[in-house]
Amino acid sequence: MKPTDISDPDYFHKVVDCQWACPAHTPVPEYIRLIAGKRYTDAYMINWESNVFPGILGRTCDRPCEPACRRGRVEEQPVAICRLKRVAADYKSDIKDRLPGVPKRKNGRHIALVGAGPASLTVARDLLPLGYEITVFDRDAAAGGAMRTQIPRFRLPVEVLEEELNYVLHMGVDRRFGTEITSMKELLAEGFDAVFVGTGAPLGKTLDLPGFAEAKPNIHTGIEWLANVAFEHIDSIGETVIVLGGGNTAMDCCRSSKRLGGEDVKVVVRSGFDEMKASPWEIEDAMNEDIPILNFCVPKRYLLKDGKLCGMEFEKVRREYDGNGRRLLIPTGEEPLVLPCDDVLCAIGQDNAFPWIERDLGIEFDRWELPVLDKTTFQSTHEKVFFGGDAALGPDNIITAVAHGHAAALSIHLLCEGRDVKDRPADLTTLASQKMGIHQWSYDNDISNDVRYIVPHAAKEKTLNDINIEVELGFDEDLGYAETQRCLNCDVQTVFTTRSCIECDACVDICPTDCITFTANGEEGELRQRLLAPAENEEQDIYVSDTLGTGRIMAKNEDLCLHCGLCAERCPTAAWDMQKYLFNTAKAVNA
Amino acid sequence: MSYIVKPKFHHPQLQKNDLGYTRRDYEGTLTTLCGGCGHDSISAAIIHAVHEMSLAPHQLAKVSGIGCSSKIPSYFLERSHGFNSVHGRMPSIATGANLANRELYYLGISGDGDTASIGLGQFCHIVRRRINMLYIVANNGTYGLTKGQLSATADLGSKTKSGEESRYDNIDLVSLAIDLGASFVARSFSGDKEQLVPLIQAGLSHRGFALIDVISPCVTFNNTPLSAHGYKNTWENNVVLSEIDFVPMRKEITARYSAGKDKEITLHDGSVIHLHKTGSGHDPGNRENALLHVNEHKKQGKIATGLLYINQDQSDFHELADTVNKPFNRLNEHDLCPGGEVLADINETFM
């Protein structure tokens, strides 16, 4: 193998698994250390710069960081990153004086944002401090998009939502809420310097089965129903409810139903329980509220009584795989399952829809009716039109929408400056030694052996009776601190200097997870097999040094490194050093 | 010295031995030696060796004297028996313990000061008495604990960090042990675990007195380019006289070994040493030759390592002294007070 090029900004970034997995690349270990030091406001601001909605995301994020967390590879459970983010939001002090200033004198550029969801508001946040004028359009009367309409209040209190929306809106956004844009052509004709489309994926699906026409009044589209609940247009549901679908929307639908009068609420999924798309913790929360989830049941018909929905019939199936490894659902031949119900909520997916964008404007769409985009710049085939969030690449999550927003804001800024949108500034990185004394580091390398702490919940009797009562209480300061101590500080990198090494084996002997081997060089596949402990996780790199005095190389398996710094503490020549790698994505302000 | 406790987390695929223990289960407390000390590598090699042999911790007793070397039993096998004795007096303790319980594995840990200076007399006698143990000398050619004076094993002309040159020829423990009748004598290097681990396993399994002289550099006081016991000099001048693999008893012998190229030595407990030919022409079965080879290499400034001499058939102390074959703690009243008839028989012999 060639010596590892640690000057490649991706190399150490990849080692910080959580940050690498986060679409917005939030510097997670950095803010976790600040929480441990009770510097909640500082921790919050690191988040705010990176993901704009820390309090919202600390409750609702899809947490791509957690499955990636290294802690999950050395013990059972990852660090509760998401809920620590909430700790920062819950215990911070007033941040208003830390928000970026917005110049009174504008730069003469005017940008239209369609949709007031996370993607658009991120664009606004990034561009307002640079002097842009921003007009935000939304068909709803209030900002927030899916964060307001799709996430029930018992998961995200309205005060938290509005606080974080207002940080952006109060920066001086021109709001045009409550009016739907019906023509892109007209919008472009208004002379905006750029238009950003962040309209989400607003099209819910229903299931057209026999009996649909008659049963229709009691069949609801999950996302529309949730939006109506959020705006308090709906405040009740039948006693017996069937929720179709296994995603997070289904979980929100069933739990909301339970709070609006649903006594007997069931979730029914076509495939296996283990194939459900919902986040494991959402499923767990639903089951904790005594909502059964029935799997391998394919909906067949709506059952009617007196011309009104009274139940549903399901075919029971089992799972098999064909020769190509494709999953098949084969009817078992058992009696069909009949479930009575007063209402059905269909949470079986959602689609993008752009009926308001005329197809002769130079904005191309692909065969799935998604806009043709550059995946880095989020520019469409029309120079001035950008897309982000669910509207860009199909339904995903809030944090992805935020990441799109940052990228699009940067593109818009480059465009307005007359620069090439593809010539983007480099991301911001620093790498600095954390050595304080002979065996002292600026970070706490004595990590805790504790297993993941559970976030306390409010009493079920209380929460099930009021849809506005938040279920999760969040960590208190003590629990939050204890959880921070599980973080392995993966951003504090083990940096190796070949010429200083005397090959004494001290690092090899001390390493708790057998990461380091001194051996003859070889091809990666073969080298992985003959390290001190096998390095089978190929997603994780092997850090290889230059040739050493004895002709061998140092090979370190990044996979299981605890970043405990013992290699550097035992190293007599400081050939190993612990250096903090701080990575921030380049945003509009850096261009 | 490090202040944190070594994290308990380990590689998820860390191998378990026949007893279900991982290597980490054979560790001790975190070392307090200087970073880079060769002695820590010896600790690590012992942990590897004992884990691989699937020895239960209670089957082994660690004995040591005084010195940086003699601290290291704290850093491995924390659940084994142990005795940290007076300076240079480890052999007396080891002898006594061995007399009392012949069934344990005895691992003596000593240094060049503890063995070649203050304890030289004791060392000579334990070799001569053929006590069944493995005696490891962590040999760095310097008194590290008293800040780096030359020790009795420092080579002629070797210089310490302060520039002091050794004016006397060194005591070569390997030659001395062979001369005094040790039946297993090896030399190794703390930086080369591939060599050291099987030697430790073979030494523990060997019946009789086994010595491994381990060059174990002192990074703080004796690791300059002019130190004979430094990492650089040892890497550069290490001449491997014999390479061995060790197969513990009960383990199946894999087909890797070809009868023509390798020599098999079966130890008293049924384990097997595979001796690979290295081209050195060295035969560890020949005592005179072993002495000759060691001295020849020394003259050229080379360090002869590997298994230098072995006589797996030599009788040990218990055989020579015709001791009782049970550990003392298992002798019962009947064994100890066999009764009037036996007494009468004994008295009869004086008539």
pLDDT in tens, A557-581: 999 999 999 999 999 999 999 999 9
pLDDT at B1: 57
Of residues A439, A506, A550, nearest to B36 (C-beta):
A506
For residue B121, the 8-state DSSP code is: H
Q: Quick one: A271 and A367 in the same domain?
A: no
Size of interface A-B (CB pairs under 8 A): 97
Report chain A residues whose CB lies below 8 A from the CB of B232: 502, 549
Q: Quick one: A163 and A226 in the same domain?
A: no
pLDDT at B185: 97
Local structure of A33: helix, strand or coil: helix
The H or E element spanning position A57 is helix A54-60
Token pair, residue B227, equals 């130190």
Whole-angstrom Cα distance, residue A38 to residue A105? 38
Q: Quick one: A229 and A280 in the same domain?
A: yes
Residue B242's closest CA among B314, B310, B172?
A: B310
Task: Note the pLDDT tens digit of each residue in B257-275.
Answer: 554 567 888 898 889 888 8
Whole-angstrom Cα distance, residue A179 to residue A172? 19
Query: What are the structural domains of chain B?
Result: 23-321 (3.40.50.970)
**In-domain check, residue A576:** no
User: A503 vs B231: CB contact, 8 Å cut-off?
Assistant: yes
Q: Quick one: A156 and A263 in the same domain?
A: no
pLDDT at B351: 85
Q: Taking a C-beta distance cutoff of 8 angstroms, is the pair A258, A464 a contact?
A: yes
Q: Quick one: A119 and A153 in the same domain?
A: yes
Q: What is the CATH number of the domain that holds A159?
A: 3.50.50.60
Q: Quick one: A196 and A330 in the same domain?
A: no
- Domain end (from A309, A324, A349): A349
Local structure of B295: helix, strand or coil: helix
CA distance A272 to chain B (A): 29
Token pair, residue A238, equals 């039948």
What is the domain range of residue A214? 204-349
Amino acid at A302: Y
Q: What is the ipTM of this complex?
A: 0.91
Number of domains, chain A: 2
Q: Quick one: A217 and A344 in the same domain?
A: yes
Q: Quick one: A213 and A184 in the same domain?
A: no
Q: Taking a C-beta distance cutoff of 8 angstroms, is the pair A204, A221 a contact?
A: yes
Q: Give B337's Cβ-side CA count (13 Å radius).
A: 1
Angle at B50 between CA B44 and CA B55, to 5 degrees: 155
- Domain end (from A384, A416, A448): A416
CA distance B188 to chain A (A): 14
Q: Quick one: A234 and A294 in the same domain?
A: yes
A478 near B CB under 8 A: no
All residue ranges of chain B with pLDDT < 70 are 1-2, 250-261
CA A497 vs CA A3, A103, A571, B14, B108: distances in Å: 11, 47, 11, 28, 37
Q: Quick one: A105 and A177 in the same domain?
A: yes
**In-domain check, residue A275:** yes
Whole-angstrom Cα distance, residue B227 to residue B225? 6
pLDDT at B248: 83
User: B4 vs A573: CB contact, 8 Å cut-off?
Assistant: no
Whole-angstrom Cα distance, residue A491 to residue A511? 18
A298 near B CB under 8 A: no
pLDDT at B175: 97
pLDDT at B255: 45
pLDDT at A202: 83
Q: Quick one: A218 and A188 in the same domain?
A: no
Torsions phi, psi for B268 (to 5 deg): -60, -35
Token pair, residue B200, equals 């430790």
All residue ranges of chain A with pLDDT < 50 are none
**In-domain check, residue A528:** no
Query: Which residue of chain B is at minimal alpha-carbon distance from A507?
Result: B36
Report chain A residues whose CB lies below 8 A from the CB of B138: none
Q: Quick one: A274 and A359 in the same domain?
A: no
Q: Taking a C-beta distance cutoff of 8 angstroms, is the pair B214, B153 a contact?
A: no
Query: Which residue of chain A is at minimal alpha-carbon distance from B11?
Result: A513
Amino acid at A134: I
For residue B127, the 8-state DSSP code is: H
pLDDT at B250: 63
- Domain end (from A416, A437, A453): A416
Whole-angstrom Cα distance, residue B282 to residue B286? 9
Task: Note the pLDDT tens digit of each residue in A182-234.
Answer: 999 999 999 999 999 999 988 888 899 999 999 999 999 999 999 999 999 99
